[in-house]
Amino acid sequence: MAGDDRAVVKTYVPTEQKSRWSEHADELDMSQSEYLRTMVQAGRRGFLDDHEEGCSGDATPGGSDLEDRVLESVSEGAVVSWDELVAELSGDFEDRLDDAVQSLVEGGEIRHDPRQGGYVRREDR
Q: Are residues 94 and 58 in the same domain?
A: no
Give the mean pLDDT of the chain. Answer: 76
> Average pLDDT for residues 49-77, to the nearest whole number?
61
Q: Are 83 and 95 in contact (CB under 8 A)?
A: no
Give the burial class of 100: count Cβ atoms within 10 A of its Cβ; 0-12 exposed, 13-18 middle, 19 or more buried: exposed
Residues recorded for the chain:
125
Is the pTM value of this prediction over 0.75? no
> Is the backbone of residue 59 left (phi > 0), alpha (psi -120 to 50) or beta?
alpha
Judge whether 71 lies within some domain: no
- According to the model, what pLDDT value does residue 76 have? 72
Question: Quick check: is 19 in a domain?
Answer: yes
Looking at per-residue pLDDT, the higher value among 92 and 22 belongs to 22
In a domain, 5, yes or no: no
Give the start-end residues of each E strand in 1-125: 110-113, 118-121
Query: For the chain, how many structural domains are there in total?
Result: 2
Does 68 map to a domain?
A: no
**109 is a domain residue:** yes
The predicted-structure confidence for 37-52, as pLDDT tens digits, reads as follows 888 877 776 555 444 4
Query: Alpha-carbon distance 39 to 43, whole Å?
Result: 6
Enclosing domain of residue 125: 81-125
pLDDT at 45: 63
20, part of any domain: yes
50 located within any domain: yes
